[in-house]
A and B are shown apart, each in its own frame.
Chain A
């Protein structure tokens, strides 16, 4: 059996581990990687290097801009056609591989089970693919008659000079539906992150504000950066509905294009995944005066806290009472399961290396079970996700990300909500925090190791050093880590389970942790004859 790290007197100093990791690298690479690792001290301001180019050959887990744009942000919107302009792979690999669930009514459009591509061939590379793209749009119109079409550029599109935006304008004119393009070629930026930004810009420019709707209910919100993996958004919809909070639009789990079009009529934006959607949150505030704050619906405590903050913002006795009623009822259920599970999980160690937000969010859920996060990091988050938004003015945009468009948004004189600005100011005076995110590092323990863009070599060394009870990451890491005898929980796909958000999600997660951390399967990995080879050997000989 592996000897566990004793953490009763705090986490071990991982400096030795860092040295060992860095010793393997060529000098230049070691220097770079060192800046992406921090031995955490929450009492101090610490800087981590993030959102920089990937080192070639390092075996990163990162994906590309197209994945961040099409795969993440727009993919979950069910009633528009996401047309991928490129060779077939990009469309194929983003076809149903992220578990963005959706629940259309009978007869409503739902294109999520389809993959649409212009399937570029070599002649399209040589002579350009614009004509084929136009034909593909015409064919899509004829076959599917969608409400809108998004065109997603892949690597070769930018290089051969196809202008997807010009095609979009022309075809919008021709078809009469909303058609807009995304310059989300895979090589832009350094990761999925650039794709989020590009998606935010285009959705804001081409979708948000297109439609109005009559005000329903007293409390109108949007949920930003929640993609309904495994039904997370369904659970949150349930809670909002019961509380009497009108959820206008979710960006973009279980969403429709129309809901995004009137999202500017909300009173408040809740930001779940800061990395992928903070751009829209800011732009909506600038243009329409809608305030936003960060929430975390991962973990029961976080859910209760987030719901209470919404109630506090609206400052309505009835709403507050309803929220308290929901929290009391749901927490009773949560506590019952937690009481049964926690004795089996208390004191266990976890590590998590997930995209751009979950490595932080899930620490709350693990805390509820008494599980300590010893090391964590993101694939593609920026410094503000690690250190908090106060560092934003100090972040230098480097050459690799400089060409990601920054759009300027101005106040909409007609629709701007001065009342919301006043409300925000009043609430701020009472101590409520807006437009802020504290980041992951201040909320992690002293001596925990924070690593950005962790690679395969580092993953192996981390496991060797910490011998964790649980590793949280994605599909590419899963079987590597499990071969080493450590269970891996996928926090992108949830290993096909979920939801994990909200109260029901917390219960699901507790039960799942009981299964994963409680099983004896991992102790059965060694064959019994491995420990007594001689006896078996001599018996066989004599026989």
Chain B
């Protein structure tokens, strides 16, 4: 047994987190910043954070992940990190020549009380920021929220800096993508293309974290939302923000600064959430839904009806980030599955409210929890109390899946032990088909591997 110390007796904990279902803010800020074209993320703290965050993203994408750090020493930890950041900004522009440096903080610089805004202003007055170049910033204290919070904070930092309101409305909408894969961002653009909606997608990590191998290395790949696009967001007709935890702050900030009204939607995972997304798009852009999208929806429905017998009543344990878990739970319920255990390390009161609404009638036996101590250890204990038919979440679930012999679908961040996942979306109707295929594969593989010889079926 890999997790030989996990027992089935759940004991209330208030101080110890074991096997977390979250990580800390800055990696989210780093990921969001990589979705800007020509941007180098910068971690204002000691260098260990930056190395860990780059490594985590690299292991997930199997791609280069660039970021710089202020490399605090003990001296800067006592006297403040201003000179480190000023020096870093100068060095970065001279050596690595990005268009934008996106600075985030860590628990170190936040505890010291370094004011990123003030330091960046000083960099500007000291002439450290070359003409036409930009330094943006977002505080991302690791002891608040989770990696999702860090993403939200950096996204807010971006929209506070670039979008500018002029007196000319532009016939486009802003789409704030939550923390999703490059493939998902591509899928969002494809859908908006089908609907003929002019848009700015922010951030956009497609063609940044899924680059081709050409024998050349581009430190700033061709992807990412561009500066003119970001500037223009202040004149857009409307903002559609996907995933409340990741995008709500930015949507509000943009509304406040440029008076661009927004609609908050769930990430379009599964049928109903995608339906709401398509309808919201249609409404805010004033376009009708093309037949091709109805066809995609119909295909997803077709597959579900075809395969319903294998899904019905299956008990599922899932863990990850609230923005994914909420629509995924809804999707599972819509297919008559039972999402019985759900944990997220990311705090936020709305999680409980949304989960209660979804589950209280359709799966009253479900247990769910978020915030500190809502960890994978707790979920594993629940599973030991009463088993499940399927486990869904990031790579760290594989240890539970192996110990308990549960079919396992990898979803979310980080997926460290498989490749190719970042090339296929889980958003939209097509993403729904992929999730369905992944679940069915695991469920049927398990059946094929464990059923008696005489029960092995040629056809499903």
Contact = CB atoms under 8 A, between A and B. Distances in A.
B147 to A, nearest CB: 8
B455 interface: no
Nearest to B42: A57
Interface string B5-18: 10100010111111
B73 interface: yes
A121 B15 contact: no
A457 B95 contact: yes
B19 A119 contact: no
A58 interface: yes
Contacts of B198: none
A354 B297 CA distance: 51
A495 to B, nearest CB: 11
A91 B69 CA distance: 20
B16 A118 contact: yes
A465 interface: no
A115 B5 contact: no
B456 to A, nearest CB: 33
Given A63-B51, A65-B48, A478-B58, A26 B91 contact: yes
Interface in A257-295: none
Interface in A51-104: 53-67, 83, 86-97
B291 to A, nearest CB: 31
B64 A479 contact: yes
Nearest to A194: B74
Given A95-B396, A136-B16, A88 B217 contact: no
Contacts of A136: 15-16
Given A67-B48, A159-B108, A483-B64, A116 B18 contact: yes
Contacts of B214: 483, 525-526
Contacts of A438: none
Interface in B320-352: 345
B312 interface: no
Contact of A484 (B13, B49, B54, B216): B216
A25 B45 CA distance: 22
Given A160-B111, A187-B76, A139 B19 contact: no
Contact-residue size bin, chain B (C-beta under 8 Å from the other chain): 35 or more
A478 B51 CA distance: 14
B111 A93 contact: no
B55 interface: yes
A110 B4 contact: yes
A504 to B, nearest CB: 25
A154 B52 CA distance: 14
A29 interface: yes
Contact of B87 (A56, A90, A190): A56
Contact of A89 (B2, B24, B47, B63): B24
A191 B142 CA distance: 21
Nearest to B81: A56
A190 B69 CA distance: 13
A385 B58 CA distance: 29
A482 B213 contact: yes
B64 A186 contact: no
A193 to B, nearest CB: 12
Nearest to A92: B23
Contact of A159 (B19, B53, B90, B111): B111
Contact of B55 (A53, A109, A185, A476): A476
Given A55-B91, A117-B20, A62 B47 contact: yes
A111 interface: yes
A326 interface: no
Contacts of A144: 5
B23 A476 contact: no
Given A156-B108, A484-B216, A187 B73 contact: yes
Residue of A25, A56, A525, A526 with most chain B CB atoms under a 10 A cut-off: A56
A405 interface: no
Interface in A40-56: 53-56
Contacts of B143: 87, 120-122, 124-125, 156
B142 A89 contact: yes
Contacts of A483: 64, 211, 213-218
B65 A476 contact: yes
A456 B373 CA distance: 38
Interface in B335-391: 345, 372-373, 377
Given A66-B48, A92-B20, 20 more contacts: A25-B91, A61-B51, A62-B47, A88-B23, A89-B26, A89-B49, A92-B22, A114-B19, A118-B17, A119-B17, A139-B13, A143-B5, A155-B107, A156-B107, A156-B143, A460-B217, A479-B58, A479-B64, A485-B213, A525-B213
5 contacts: A62-B51, A89-B142, A124-B143, A132-B15, A475-B58
Interface of B: 2-5, 7, 11, 13-20, 22-27, 42, 45-49, 51-56, 58-59, 62-77, 84-85, 87-92, 94-96, 106-108, 111-112, 141-144, 146, 211, 213-219, 345, 372-373, 377, 396, 399
The 4 A-B pairs at the shortest CB distance, nearest first, are namely: A64-B48, A89-B24, A57-B88, A135-B15
